[in-house]
Structure 1
């Protein structure tokens, strides 16, 4: 957006419309050296208007004409903290991002050390130190998303001129953001899955239900968490998963145990698996990972091969591949937008190439 001259005061007062719809007011004037200056007076959301800006401009111009320094008496600029720019970002996110709840959660839980820091004082090394600290306790995928949220918050602040003369350390490769190795997948064996489901069924029925539907549909956790009863067709035993940023829309057939679970659930909310406050779940309860780590020896320290909630999706796809499903069937089942994402399971599909050669070219 460009600076727009006031209809009433001309170029003396200028308006700048920010992405969030708020308007910033600026004044222009010539200093004692006859150099044109532009200064921000404030935002419309803070009660600033064109008339107030024009009055402030007159005060500054009058001081310059008298040979006085117009900046004397000006309050010292206060610092803009990371929390300040987040507060502006989350207002925008709530109106523009479906995943704003997740962003809010990551800011509160994983970016706490930056909350009260002056943004322009945050250096690349600060993010490097945070990365090393978080990689000790969080998965690579979680740290990747955490940095993505931080990058978006800073970019939002730069676009809306909440901060100036600052280069985002998380853009342009300044700080290397960890990327999960998607070629490496961890999945449960049939025996491990059976033992896990049995333990969950004995200890926590909610975790059992979530695990079963994740395992038997291959859906992402966010897709299960956002499922509502309108997406369920019990007559035809189909579940409809809506299109997301990462996945295509699709219908998935219910296994017998998924059908039985859905048939037995009490409809206390439009969501099928609401949290205790009847809102959408943001993640699998922590108890699930604790149970898995206890059940599978060494799982907690195995890093990229650790069984996590997302491994249930890998397990579903891997079992399909081992069962003989072709790569396009697996792609459709998982809702992958690109075939490249599905090819990681190709090596598990039993090869009939040699058998086909014998059949086609036999004498």
Structure 2
């Protein structure tokens, strides 16, 4: 798609530009390469007159990005109304910042603050830039967000989509706060847009025999993957935290792993002597990742190999509820559940071990702690007279 311009810039006339039969001022071009739902993908543009009467063009994006003729028509009407009230300035004198510009400034600020930017850069490049990167704030409407959300949900989990859109919200708010943009946030209180609802938090954790069998099965396929799984079961590290481990992050004297945690914060995690020896045995130099691909690059995902091992053991056989399916993150959930079941940690200590930001997250494990409400209720019933539990009995 041609680079989007916002302002009174002539759009070359060509045979490939097609005028909408339904809406005035709406145009599109059909791709000769890309397709969308079995038809040539379309790039939509609108033409409008600014407050000075100059003809302006605005590219809105592709059909594959959720843009439709109806959306283009509504957007044109919105801009025309603003122009009539003199609220749109001539953008020909100075190029207005697009989302790519604002994101670059947002990332620079994050790096200056010492934050880990890798995950956000990848998320933006994959899920946001194709749809909005070349557009300014006027094109990022609640309708555009709703369409993009629907398009992402066709191929991604609600949690992944929520992470992507939450990043977009942070970038938009950054642009408004730093005066790079003027206007209103499409995520604001007046917007009709809603974030995806996520109901897929893991509930399943492995028994000791299941965990042992899984480690044995993984070892048959990949010793490195088995080590990663052992590390998660022992420390409750997330997959991305394991992927990011470098040799320089190991502190043998204090049995500590220094990790980049969720959100970019540096944290220290206790590791046993046995696991520490396993990690040191990889013989990596200080700046090298401990877990690497065959080409020497860092491991970025384990889904395929891990799920093949899970399938070989039948751990997900007949399980359709995503909250009950075994995935790599189940290992973290299992570790925390085992700590809770041990009875050695209070809820606050468990929160610290799990590195939860909110106590509400740790409360999911409260029922596993011995001596909790369920155990007390079970003990009360065990001490109650027999007739209490008999049919027709009267307490």
In structure 2, C-alpha distance between the alignment counterparts of 1:184 and 1:355, rounded to whole Å = 26
- Asked if 1:343 corresponds to 2:366, the answer is no
Does the CA-based 8 Å contact 2:214-2:310 persist in structure 1?
Answer: no
- Asked if 1:161 corresponds to 2:179, the answer is yes
Q: 3-state DSSP class of the match of 2:217?
A: helix
C-alpha deviation, 1:124, in angstroms: 0.9
Question: Paired residue for 2:326?
Answer: 307
Distance 1:334 1:290, change over 3 A: same
Question: Paired residue for 1:95?
Answer: 112
Q: Indicate which of 204, 222, 242 corresponds to 1:204.
A: 222
Alignment of 1:230-249 (within 5 A): 231-234=249-252, 237-239=255-257, 249=267
Does the CA-based 8 Å contact 1:247-1:336 persist in structure 2?
Answer: no
- Asked if 1:353 corresponds to 2:363, the answer is no
Question: Paired residue for 2:281?
Answer: 264
In structure 2, C-alpha distance between the alignment counterparts of 1:290 and 1:132, rounded to whole Å = 27
In structure 2, C-alpha distance between the alignment counterparts of 1:313 and 1:110, rounded to whole Å = 26
RMSD between aligned alpha carbons?
3.9
Question: Paired residue for 1:317?
Answer: 336
Q: Structure 2 unaligned runs (5+)? A: 1-89, 382-395
Q: 3-state DSSP class of the match of 2:270?
A: strand
Deviates more, 1:212-221 or 1:333-342: 333-342
Question: Paired residue for 2:168?
Answer: 150
- Asked if 1:291 corresponds to 2:311, the answer is no
In structure 2, C-alpha distance between the alignment counterparts of 1:148 and 1:205, rounded to whole Å = 36
Question: Paired residue for 1:133?
Answer: 151
In structure 2, C-alpha distance between the alignment counterparts of 1:338 and 1:246, rounded to whole Å = 17
- Asked if 1:216 corresponds to 2:239, the answer is no
Q: Indicate which of 245, 249, 254 corresponds to 2:272.
A: 254
In structure 1, C-alpha distance between the alignment counterparts of 2:292 and 2:118, rounded to whole Å = 14
Does the CA-based 8 Å contact 2:224-2:291 persist in structure 1?
Answer: no
Deviates more, 1:76-85 or 1:342-351: 76-85
Does the CA-based 8 Å contact 2:116-2:264 persist in structure 1?
Answer: no
Distance 1:107 1:92, change over 3 A: same
In structure 1, C-alpha distance between the alignment counterparts of 2:238 and 2:179, rounded to whole Å = 37
Does the CA-based 8 Å contact 2:115-2:264 persist in structure 1?
Answer: no
In structure 1, C-alpha distance between the alignment counterparts of 2:284 and 2:91, rounded to whole Å = 60
In structure 1, C-alpha distance between the alignment counterparts of 2:178 and 2:318, rounded to whole Å = 45
Q: What does the per-residue CA deviation read over 1:36-90, in whole Å, with 9 as the maximum and x for residues that have no partner?
A: xxxxxxxxxxxxxxxxxxxxxxxxxxxxxxxxxxxxx994665643323323333
Query: Normalised by the size of structure 2, how large is the TM-score?
Result: 0.59
Query: Normalised by the size of structure 1, how large is the TM-score?
Result: 0.63
Question: Paired residue for 2:34?
Answer: none
Distance 1:138 1:187, change over 3 A: farther
- Asked if 1:331 corresponds to 2:351, the answer is yes
- Asked if 1:188 corresponds to 2:188, the answer is no
Deviates more, 1:300-309 or 1:81-90: 300-309
Q: 3-state DSSP class of the match of 2:110?
A: helix
Question: Paired residue for 2:99?
Answer: 82
Q: 3-state DSSP class of the match of 2:150?
A: helix
Q: What does the per-residue CA deviation read over 1:175-218, in whole Å, with 9 as the maximum and x for residues that have no partner?
A: 32235458753323334433432332222333222222112111
